Amino acid sequence: MRKTLIFAAITAAAAGSTSAAARAPVYSASIVRTALGIPHITARDWRGIGYGVAYAYGQDNLCLLAEEFATVAGQRSQNFGAGAKAVLGFEPVDNQTSDLFFRSAIDLPALRRGARTMAPEQTQLSAGYVAGYNRLLRDLGTAGVPASCRGKAWVRPITGDDMLRLTEKQMLLASSLNFAGALVAAQPPGAPPVADNGGLPEAHPTGIGSNGWAFGGDVTEDGRGMLAGNPHFPWTGPSRFWEMHVTIPGKLDAMGAGIAGSPIPTIGFNKDVAWTHTVTAAQHFTLYQLKLDPADPTAYLVDGKSVKMTAQSVTLPAVGPAPAVTRAFYSTRFGRVIAMPAIGAAWSRTTAFTLRDANQGNQRGIGTWIAYDTARNVGEIRAAAERSLGIPWVNTIAADRFGNVLHADVTAVPNVSAAMARDCATPLSRVVAARAVLLDGSRSACMWQTAAGTPAPGLMPAGDQAVYARRDYVANSNDNYWLSNAGAPYRQLSPILGSWGTPRSLRTRSGLTEISRALAQGKLTRARIQDMVFANHSLAAELALAPVLALCRDKADVAAACAALGQWDGKFDLTSRGAYLFQTFWLKARTTPGLWSVPFDAADAVNTPRGLVTSGAPGEALVAALKGAADALAAQHIALDAPWGEVQFAIDGDRHIPVHGADGAVGILNVQMSEPVAGGIVPRHGSSYVQIVGFDDAGPVADAVLSYSQSSDPASPHFADQTRLYSAKRWHRLPFTPAQIAADSPGAVLRISE
């Protein structure tokens, strides 16, 4: 009874009467936390949702979020030191580069103008988030701030500008942020040189991506849709996911997760539809090669006419004895000038290179996720993605209660057709083709094409991008749109959306193989899908283990390693002995020339290449890789047959929590990319917010686990509670309805308003 009254009080406080609403404060929300610290935020309007989410998120991750606001404001050098590191996107750069990037790349006046055209719901969410964050700081006071950032100058109240910066940063995660070093390094000939810390980002790093599967009514036991989402994201830093449930009675009722600064779930479900995201293989930028005016290296020729670059000066203030740093940045109609000498893209007196980003100024993302949170079926999810082109750099995989599934690889992409990419190529285009589309900036015809009906000039219309709408299944593991259903390959589209008809990653092949095997056994159930997600099966082991064992049995110098592999079960479960040896071996061996006897065949992409070659030079390379792996383990003082759970672990104070899953390159679905520490390895990027969502007559039925838990504060009771759950392959049934919330050990109701 007490629990029922608690939830009733929340709903009543949020809804209120007409007369009470007239006297209501500007911001008001109620927060109740259920098991594992999951907050349920209820408010009467969008302002209140932003207000409550910011407050609750700050309770769990205040220091992380405060540092992120300092980062996007370009204030890391003065607060953390110029030489220390910041995480931009998913990789670290030095703080000075980070500060120069954000101070030059974020156009606040333009973002403020854009904010005036956003839907009221979006502006209200942002305003509420600012108010909720600042309210938490006031309530905590200096003494209440977590120890890791207590008394720090960068823990400060925020403004709407901070939210504009943070949202813009999230839009640029898979594009401009990866070129921060190249942007900072770009200086005209004759200017003082800047260290070459710029290079092309890795092409579609499928080893660290995500998995999204949606199963339709034709293949599920209950005839309804079911979603399996497993985004692979960092275990530390601002891209950690955080679970939340947000409710505006009669308008919004959605649950799921978002990263730092997300005022609503960006992955999750409501009563009718569930969705997840995987990083798309599409490119959200193009590079341009400019022909410079012989008389002026800061002017470029377009159709033979000289056009002056626009210069911007950025100064970082002096910090202690270190002097102020001033840097010039240059822009063109083809984007901002970059320099990557290592790949031949230096700024000379004749040539310069630029980056144009389709997500620069993209303020449509949150509005699209509002539409997702309130959608009634996958058709409305699709319509929102296609209408807004606001999803920045991720696929959308969705399922609804009616048995429909969707894969929409529809994002903010430059409108560059295959013909245009071919006709506008330069001699260097072929060199960088695997990682970027490079176009000729000396011709106006090579500007992105403007299509009718798109929300911004130069974006590729949704009709030219890839959408699967089906009732059997769709699956994506960061390979491109071509093969999201093994039985229905997609037609070839522009190369800016990814290569077509090419080999799939082992992880993509593993997922499609597991789905095929599961469907061969009959209609799918929740339990079988859960087993697939955490099966920890390695396709590399399936393809290579037996022939490697046959090869190494008579080799004295790898006899011990061969014996250890002989007892491995081919999985990366906690008890799997020899798993670390195989992973270390495979990362060395996988690129061996001539490794497969059966080459890739586009007509059988799931099963090729295959047939490990163990004779001749490939066989010698395999033995050398195995010996190298054994030597590496010896140097780390790790036994060849060590159980995987003793090698890979998360750290909670002085305790280790064993972690299953492995490097995506071994063809495993449950990815954990780890880095070495004393005695083993710890996850840095991998399975994060894992959800299995289906539907019954009453609403959603969602099982989930957040691998690294809700809070980044070691003092929090929710710093590692879900990590232990994940370690044990246990799921938490997420409470969604009032009755479920009341039954899931809710704490006291926290009401905040102003």
| Catalytic site includes residue 687 | no
User: What confidence tier does 319 reach under pLDDT thresholds 50, 70, 90?
Assistant: confident
Instruction: Output the six-digit token pair for 745.
Output: 């050990």
Q: CATH classification of 2-185, choosing from 1.10.10.10, 1.10.439.10, 3.40.50.12280, 2.102.10.10?
A: 1.10.439.10
User: What confidence tier does 12 reach under pLDDT thresholds 50, 70, 90?
Assistant: very low
Closest among 305, 316, 268, 278 to 102, alpha carbons compared: 316
Report CA-CA distances (Å) from 612 to 408, 571, 591, 617.
35, 19, 12, 12
Q: What is the predicted pLDDT for the residue at 3?
A: 43
> Which one of 98, 210, 262, 477 is the catalytic residue?
210
Phi/psi region, residue 596 (left: phi>0; alpha: psi -120 to 50; beta: rest), is beta
Flag whether pLDDT at 205 surpasses 70.
no
Closest among 120, 77, 45 to 319, alpha carbons compared: 77
User: What confidence tier does 6 reach under pLDDT thresholds 50, 70, 90?
Assistant: very low
- So what's the architecture of 285-357+417-446 in CATH? Roll (2.30)
Instruction: Output the six-digit token pair for 690.
Output: 């894992």
Residue type, 687: S
Instruction: Output the six-digit token pair for 234.
Output: 């960092």
CATH number for the domain whose boundaries are 539-668 = 1.10.1400.10
Residues whose CB falls within 8 Å of the CB of residue 666, separated by 6 or more in sequence, listed in order: 506, 538, 539, 540, 541, 572, 582, 583, 586
CATH number 3.30.70.100 is the correct assignment for the domain at 206-275+373-414+450-533: no
Residue type, 729: K
Q: What is the predicted pLDDT for the residue at 633?
A: 98
Instruction: Output the six-digit token pair for 53.
Output: 């989410």
Closest among 4, 161, 162, 129 to 56, alpha carbons compared: 129
Rounded to the nearest 5°, which phi and psi values hold at 753? -160, 160
Q: Write down the mean pLDDT value for the chain.
A: 94
Residue owning tokens 């719901």: 121
Span 652-677, pLDDT tens digits: 999 999 999 999 999 999 999 999 99
User: What confidence tier does 15 reach under pLDDT thresholds 50, 70, 90?
Assistant: very low
Span 444-503, pLDDT tens digits: 999 999 999 999 999 999 999 999 999 999 999 999 999 999 999 999 999 999 999 999
What is the DSSP code string of 501-528? S-PPPHHHHHHHHHHHHHHHTSSB-HHH
Instruction: Output the six-digit token pair for 686.
Output: 């991998």
Flag whether pLDDT at 730 surpasses 60.
yes
Percent of the chain clearing pLDDT 70 (strictly above): 95
Residue type, 455: P
Flag whether pLDDT at 429 surpasses 60.
yes
Span 672-722, pLDDT tens digits: 999 999 999 999 999 999 999 999 999 999 999 999 999 999 999 999 999
Question: What Rg, from alpha-carbon coordinates, does the chain have?
Answer: 26
Q: What is the predicted pLDDT for the residue at 14?
A: 45
Flag whether pLDDT at 18 surpasses 60.
no
CA angle 416–418–421, rounded 5-degree value: 65
d(CA 581, CA 186): 43
Q: What is the predicted pLDDT for the residue at 208?
A: 62
In the chain, domain spans = 2-185, 206-275+373-414+450-533, 285-357+417-446, 539-668
Among 153-167, 316-330, 517-531, name the one with the lowest average pLDDT. 316-330
Residue type, 677: V
Residues whose CB falls within 8 Å of the CB of residue 714, separated by 6 or more in sequence, listed in order: 652, 653
